[in-house]
Structure 1
């Protein structure tokens, strides 16, 4: 019992000290003394009014204070509850919407990843096949290029077709025209040079 009594006394002492400290912060001792002096002077000047106010404060002041404390506590609890419920509702709504969106995002991302992987694999296979047909990374040797390989597979017909195309009349006409253009250009250059020489002679 002595331990319980001591604990109760300690708690009461701590509460009293806290109340006194809070009161001193809100109403310093000097201001309290002035207020008491003013109250005494007022009670001496108006004893009937002072007794009426004292009776009202003693009997109705405590319920009013309790009501104000109850209203303030209700407001604080309501605000805290609203904030907590709002945070919980926000998290729940976010999880629900995010989970619903994942039903669409995951398949789309998976299909896109698979498509990219397949395209990369096919590109790599095509690159390796062309590399092997061209003789690898080293300079291609005769008979190892793609055209030579196709020529071998067709039995030499591909080279014959290319030779026929090169020896066609149209190709020959183009070659003759190009040679004539070269001759004309050379002749015009010679004519210009001769004219320049004659002009220099006349000037001399």
Structure 2
């Protein structure tokens, strides 16, 4: 017959399928498995995430105050990861044209990535709560700031003008994300066509800002 101590220890063990200990990153990973092209972060429930993570619902609160805090953490993670991926693509490019092409192609590739990070930013910017939309807006501004710095760097290196760099970066960022939100719901076979169109549209913005800068420079 098991001793009292043995029975007590067994009673304290986590139920079958549940982990004895879990990290904040484990919960984020579980939540990422639940979101996707047709599933917004805002629709996740605490119990659903806990079940996916293999923990008791109460264990969730050791890492997040509520489901909204988890959602904002997911948005922040998505923004940071995508900025690194797209920023690296821009840095590898050596000409202005190749920067546009590589950035657009990398962005569109992320629509089909397993992590679905881009889906989080595209969904929560339109259907999430005000707190989620504000979090997405912060990430978009980070994208704009980094793109602005790259546009200035390229303009100086190539000797081309640049009219209102910050506004140019904003125009490109908002266009790309708007097109991405549309492409997200379209069949994958349409993505190549959209990538080509998007590259041309971004190029039009770049040429436009260069022309405006040149006109300002020669204006008496």
TM-score by length of 2: 0.21
Q: Give the structure, 1 or 2, with the largest relative contact order (CA under 8 Å, sep 6 or more).
A: 2
TM-score by length of 1: 0.23
The structure with the larger Rg is: 1
Greater per-residue helix proportion: 1
